[in-house]
Structure formats: structure tokens, C-alpha cells
Amino acid sequence: MSNQKLFHVAVVGATGAVGEQIIRLLETRDFPIEKLTLLSSERSAGTKLTFKGNDITVKAATPDSFKGVDIALFSAGGGVSLELIPHAISHGAVCIDNTSAYRMDPDTPLVVPEVNIDRINEHKGVIANPNCSTIQMVAALKPLYDRYGISRIIVSTYQAVSGAGSRAIDEMLRQSKEILAGNTVEPQILPVGALPVKHQIAFNAIPQIDKFTENGFTYEEMKMINETKKILGDDSLEVTATCVRIPVVYGHSESVYVEMKQDFDLEEVKQLLADAPGIVLQDNPAEQQYPLAADAAGKLETFVGRVRRDLSNPRGLNMWIVSDNLLKGAAWNAVQIAEYIAIEQK
Amino acid sequence: MSNQKLFHVAVVGATGAVGEQIIRLLETRDFPIEKLTLLSSERSAGTKLTFKGNDITVKAATPDSFKGVDIALFSAGGGVSLELIPHAISHGAVCIDNTSAYRMDPDTPLVVPEVNIDRINEHKGVIANPNCSTIQMVAALKPLYDRYGISRIIVSTYQAVSGAGSRAIDEMLRQSKEILAGNTVEPQILPVGALPVKHQIAFNAIPQIDKFTENGFTYEEMKMINETKKILGDDSLEVTATCVRIPVVYGHSESVYVEMKQDFDLEEVKQLLADAPGIVLQDNPAEQQYPLAADAAGKLETFVGRVRRDLSNPRGLNMWIVSDNLLKGAAWNAVQIAEYIAIEQK
């Protein structure tokens, strides 16, 4: 890596759950960094974070924070992205946005490196990171899509509370302790912080992630539907989704049913998955081996198992897809994109 | 209820999670009981249980336990049912079996009262109670099946640990406490007590309920597939299922996708569900109202919400179905059947 170009990298939302993971990954991946600027809201500014043994003071993000920045990773909410990304672009930064702000913008590439890294150079200053539940699903489906074609996807998710931020994790753990002690709980955060009605998440399953749209689906479900079509570049793909929060801290699980356009060989399906980049096949019923959220936590890969043919439709396939929602579902996918940008620009 | 015939009722598996609920329901429903015989394994014999203020000593179940018994409710495992039900029948008892032993026997009616109570009189001494996850699904789908026809069902479950018995509940709560205290856990019961590999259930999701069959589906999944066809009396119905255990104590949730044989009106679907026996429609996204396992626990009804049309298939419908797996999923369905028998024989 000698003579490699070094980059001035900014992390916006540095004190959040995803921001923390991004900083850790930039460190462990030894990203070619010349300078690291950590940005946050006014409220969190002044926090000191450690990067490669040095303390860095987090500053409040403003339009002027991006002077000299080469790559800016945003995960501070859609409003912050919409406000600050135009300024970052005008200062010459390439932005990687973890929020939903730019995902469906036709001029913005929506990238999962294992699926469509070829779109990365089409960017006009911003590359969008897909929704966590979408990323792991399309990463696992891509080799099957390429080989057989996929006509429809029916997915039900089992999503971790960390997807709703650190306060949701705290709430779930606190509720669990209270209920185990025989006390009642007063839900305050989940399912959606900005909405009035709160539900118990400990020892429960909440079929609402994000707000509802007018068609009865939630925004989370619409993200899975629309982003999957955009990433695979296939508007004819039929997708339906039910997104559910369960009392797990890290790791989204998904029960995915797909219909292929062609007949498939089940052993070939497993081999395609085993050989796919970023995918680990964990599928041995005889040994009770299949992906588990608790095992996937902290890992970068997407794990796939319970791969079996639908007994009523020979072109139907059931599978179980698990990945760490803060890593491949957010921070790692963003840092992967940053690594590709670094390679392109070196 | 004067001059009503009174029955000698036996409960086999009286000390188990389902047996306890059966006894409580016989009590609260004021079932016309002349004598209540409580039976269990040798190990649990001698336990004293209370029924309407009187202590009843649980006896070890033997082939001779059924002399004079009119109605026997079995929930002590498939092996016990296969061994003792023939003796109970020979003593003249009508048996209601909560295990899988007789469910797929062509001579045995498999009954959900809201769906096919008309089959009850076809019995040859035993009426089978379906699997918990099947009961709540067919109860909710029946009005739609009758009105529009259903061609296929794709279901993913979120099942409570109580479905695996009291020891599984204890294990989940114990593991939760240990993990909250920062300790590691040593799984001992779940996913399947009789199998060698154990997985953590606290703060996790395990995509295995019951053993695996050779086709890659678990027995639980095959029960949902085969029992649904039998109860609805429709072998052409296409069903696929993924059954998952989550850290919930009571209440199974199900993400169900169905394809109707005819076009449907969504408001009519909701009205059919609201009017269906045993079903409560909880479906108001604007108020964040939908069924929750924690709310369904302890209730007899099946709760349905998140009812919405698939955006890609106008005959596709997504819904979320929740019920207490020990009540409608087991004890209550069995006691409902017993109530119909009592009415028939009075």
C-alpha cells in the first residue's frame, strides 16, 4: 500500500450506533486515511472518540465542515443528509449516505458492492447505502437472480432493535429486566420514536418498523420492495414484505420465499450461494446448522441456510438469511463502497 | 343447564403446560362435569391440583385409567396418546388428542370448531386437535377461503417458547437473566429437547421447531402444510411454511401471504374477518393498532391485522395473525371440541 493516495474522510453521525461501527471498520480495515473528521449534532459535539490510539473531538456538523473532505459517510438521519450533502458535494466530497434520503433518487446509485458495484461511477456526488433489511436479502439473492432469474420475492423479517438506534437497544434491555423482575413496563421508544403509540418490545413481536404509508405497508416494507427492484435493476420483479421487530439486539433474520423464472437444481443453488462473495452458506439440517442472529452479530458476512424447494411449486425456494444489521446492513456496506472509491481514485 | 347430562372427564398430561390450561378452562367454562380424573406420567403422579376449590390428586395414567370416562383430553405427547387412546376408546371414552399422533390418520377428524365442526361426528373414538400454529391460521383464513377460494399460502411464524413446554419457558427466562447480567449461557432444551445440538433462544431467533424431515422442512412446517390441507379439505391448496422460535413466552404470531382464486375487495375482506367466529380484527395503522403476542396472551380469540393487498399481485393478501398458542392453539380448541361433544350427547 506504499504510494497509495490517502484520503480526508468525514463521518457524520459519528456518535451514533452506525457511526461507531464505521469508525471501527475504518480502523480495522486500515482504510487509507490522511485525516478523519468526526461530526455530529450540536448535542453530541465535544464527545471524544478514539481512532488508532488518538483522541478525536467530535464537532458539530455544519455546511462548512466539508472543506477538503474527500469522502463523507452520512448516518445521522435523512434530514441531516438532505441539508448537508449538497454542501459536501459542493466542497468536492463524494458522499456515501446511509439514510433513505437519496436512495430512490434516479440520479443516485443505490449500491451493494456484491450486487451492483458497476453503478458506483454513475454517481453525481452521492452514493446511497440501501436499507439494512434490503442489503442482506439482495446480496444473497444476486447469484440466484443471475443464474435463473427471479420473478417474485415474499419476505418476512425478524429485525433487531439496534436498527432503531441505541435508545431502542436500551429500552429493550430495560424492559426485559423489568418483566423478569415481575414489574410492568412503560414503552417509550418503539416501534417508532416519532409516533404517539408505543408498544412493549421485550418478549414480544411488533409488526411495525417505521411509519405506515397510505397503502397499508410501512416505509420499511416499501423500502424493501422498491430498493430491491432498483438494486437489481428490474421493475418487473414482484416483491412483497412484512417487517417485524423482535427482541434481538444485533442481527436481522429473514424468511425469504422466491420464485425462479427457470427450473433449478437445489444442489446447484447451494453451490452458487456457497461460492457467492460475502455469503456464507450455513445449511446442514442433520447437524441443526442454520444461520442465527446471535452468531451473525459482529460478523461482516451474510449467512444463508434452510435452503429448500417449495413442495407445491418446483420453481419456489425457501431460505433463511441473517446478517448483522449494523455491519453489512449499514456500516460495512458503506465502508465497502468507500474502499471501492479509494481504489478508483488512487 | 338443569337436567343437563354430566360427564366424567379425564385430562391426560394434567401437570403439563397445556393440561393446566385445560383444567382452568373446564373450570371457567363451567363444563358439565360429574367427575374429573387427572392423569400424568409416573413421575408427576401424586401432584395435587385444584379444581373448583377441591384438591384432586393426579394419578399415573394406565390402560385401566379410563373405566367410566366419557371424554378424555390427551396432551402428554404422541407416544402416550398412541399407547393409551385405544384403551380409552375400548372403555367407551371419546378422546380429544392434542398430539400429532392421530392428526393425519384418514379415519380421524382434525377439527377447528370455527372451520369444520361438521366433521366431529365422523370420529371413531378420537378427534385430533391440530398443531397450534395451524389452528390460528386456518381459523383466520376460513372466511376468506369460503368467500374467494384460496390457491396458495406462504407463512412465516414467530412462535413462543411455551409451545415447547414449561422447561423451554424456564430456559428462555433463565438465559435472558444471564445475558442481561453479562454472563454466557449453556443452552440445554431448545430447539428440540431430544436432539443433540442446542441453541440460545434469548435475544435470538431459531429457524427450527421440531426435527427435520428428509425434504429439508421441519415436522412443524410439514404439520402446517398437511394439516391446513386436511382441515380445509383441499389437497390442491399450495402451502409452504417457515417456522421460527422467538423469545416470546405466550402467543404465536404469523406473517401470512395468501393468494385468492378470485378478485377481492379489501374492505370486504376486513368485514369478513371482523364478522368471523373466534376472530378479532385489530387493524388500524393510523392508530398503530395490530395484533401483538403480549396482548393476545391469556385470551381465547385469534387476532388479525396488517391486512393489505399485495402491490404486485391484486389477488395476493398479506396479514398478521396472533393467538395464544396454549389456548386457541391447544387447550381452548380441545375444550371447544369437548363442549360440542357434550352438546351432542346431552
Q: What is A7-130+330-345's CATH number, 3.40.630.30, 2.60.40.10, 3.40.228.10, 3.40.50.720? A: 3.40.50.720
Buried b (16+ CB within 10 A) or exposed e, B166-184: eebbebbbebbbebeeeee
Q: Please give, rounded to a whole number of angstroms, the shortest distance from the CA of B249 to a CA of chain A.
A: 7
pLDDT at residue A3, as a whole number: 64
Listed residue (B230, B22, B224, B29) closest to B116, CA to CA: B230
Residues from chain B that touch A225, judged by Cβ atoms under 8 A, are 311
Does A119 show up as a binding residue in the annotation? no
Interchain pair A158, B216: CB under 8 A = no
Cα B28 vs. chain centroid, distance in angstroms?
19
Distance from CA of A42 to the nearest CA of B (A): 32
Q: How far is A316 from chain B (nearest CA, A)?
A: 9
**Residue B37 and residue B65 in contact, taking contact as beta carbons nearer than 8 Å:** yes
Collapsing DSSP to helix, strand or coil, B160 comes out as: coil
> Among candidates B137, B72, B84, B90, which has minimal Cα distance to B334?
B72
B97-108 burial, b for 16+ CB within 10 Å, e for fewer? bbbbbbbeeeeb
Residues in Cβ contact with A160 at an 8 Å cutoff, skipping those fewer than 6 apart: A246, A248, A249, A250, A251, A252, A293, A325
List the catalytic residue out of B91, B132, B199, B243: B132
3-state secondary structure A249-281: CCCEEEEEEEEECCCCCHHHHHHHHHHCCCEEE
* Whether B246 and A158 lie within 8 Å, measured CB to CB: yes
**Which letter does DSSP use for residue A121 in this model?**
G
Rounded distance, CA A197 to CA B284, Å?
A: 12
What residue type is assigned to position B76 of the chain?
Answer: A
Mutation for A interface: B156, B157, B258, most A CBs within 10 A: B156
All three cell numbers of B75, joined, read 396432551
Maximum alpha-carbon separation in chain B: 62
Give the separation between CA B164 and CA B150, rounded to whole angstroms: 30
Optimal mutation site among B171, B179, B234, B242, interface A, most CBs of chain A within 10 A: B242
Rg (CA), chain B: 20
Is A204 within 8 Å of B244 when comparing Cβ atoms?
A: no
E-assigned strand segments in chain A: 7-12, 33-40, 48-51, 54-57, 59-60, 71-74, 94-97, 126-128, 150-158, 238-242, 252-260, 279-281, 302-309, 316-323
Question: Which residues of chain B are within 8 Å of residue A206 when distances are taken between CB atoms?
Answer: 292
Identical topology for domains B7-130+330-345 and B134-325: no
Convert B53-67 to b/e letters by CB count within 10 Å (16 or more is b). eeebebbebeeebbe
Domain A134-325: which topology? Dihydrodipicolinate Reductase; domain 2 (3.30.360)
Q: Which residue of B has its CA nearest to A294?
A: B204
Listed by start position, the domains of chain B span 7-130+330-345, 134-325
Q: Which residues pair with A60 in a beta bridge?
A: A40
Determine, for residues A255 and B238 on separate chains, whether the beta-carbon distance falls below 8 Å.
Answer: no
| Angstroms from A32 CA to nearest CA on chain B | 36
d(CA B253, CA B138): 13
Q: In the prediction, which pLDDT does B345 show?
A: 81
Run means of pLDDT, 10 residues per run, chain B, 346 residues: 82 96 98 98 96 97 98 97 98 97 98 97 97 98 98 98 96 98 98 97 98 98 98 98 98 98 98 98 98 98 98 98 98 98 87
Which of chain B's residues have a Cβ under 8 Å away from the Cβ of A207?
253, 255, 290-291, 305-306, 320
B132 is an active site residue: yes
Most A CBs within 10 Å: which of B162, B255, B256, as the mutation test of the A interface? B255
List CB contacts (< 8 A) between B240 and chain A. Answer: 257, 310-313, 316, 318
Find the DSSP H helices in A91-197. 113-116, 132-148, 166-180
What pLDDT sits at residue A4? 80
- Cα gap B328→B136, rounded to integer Å: 7
Task: Look at B238 and A206 and tell me if their CB atoms are within 8 Å.
Answer: no
Residues B128, B294 contacting (CB under 8 angstroms): no
Q: Between chains, do B212 and A285 touch, taking CB under 8 Å as contact?
A: yes
> Residue B24, SS3?
helix
What confidence score (pLDDT) does residue B3 get? 64
What local confidence, expressed as pLDDT, does residue A189 receive? 98
Which among A204, A249, A257 has CB closest to B154? Answer: A257
Residue A174 annotated as lining a ligand binding site: no
Contact in structure between B346 and B11 (CB atoms under 8 Å): no
> What does each of the 346 residues of chain A score in pLDDT, given as a tens digit?
456 899 999 999 999 999 999 999 999 999 999 999 999 999 999 999 999 999 999 999 999 999 999 999 999 999 999 999 999 999 999 999 999 999 999 999 999 999 999 999 999 999 999 999 999 999 999 999 999 999 999 999 999 999 999 999 999 999 999 999 999 999 999 999 999 999 999 999 999 999 999 999 999 999 999 999 999 999 999 999 999 999 999 999 999 999 999 999 999 999 999 999 999 999 999 999 999 999 999 999 999 999 999 999 999 999 999 999 999 999 999 999 999 999 988 7
- C-alpha–C-alpha distance, residues A324 and A306, integer Å: 18
> Are A244 and B225 an interchain contact pair (Cβ–Cβ within 8 Å)?
no
Burial classification of residue A55, based on how many CB atoms lie within 10 Å of its CB (0-12 exposed, 13-18 middle, 19 or more buried): exposed
Say yes or no for a CB contact (<8 Å) between A212 and B286: yes
Handedness of CA A172, A177, A180, A181 (dihedral sign): negative
What DSSP string describes B204-264? --B---S-B-TTS-BHHHHHHHHHHHHHHT-TT-EEEEE--B-S-SS-EEEEEEEEESS--
Q: Annotated binding residue at A16?
A: yes
Residue ranges of the annotated binding site of B are: 15-18, 43-44, 103, 159, 162-163, 245, 325
The sign one gets for the Cα dihedral B311, B313, B314, B315 is negative
What CA–CA distance (Å, rounded) separates A111 from A121?
11
Residue A205 confidence (pLDDT): 99
Question: Which residues of A does the annotation mark as catalytic?
Answer: 132, 252
Which of A225, A244, A288 shows the shortest C-beta gap to B208?
A: A288
Task: Look at B240 and A257 and tell me if their CB atoms are within 8 Å.
Answer: yes
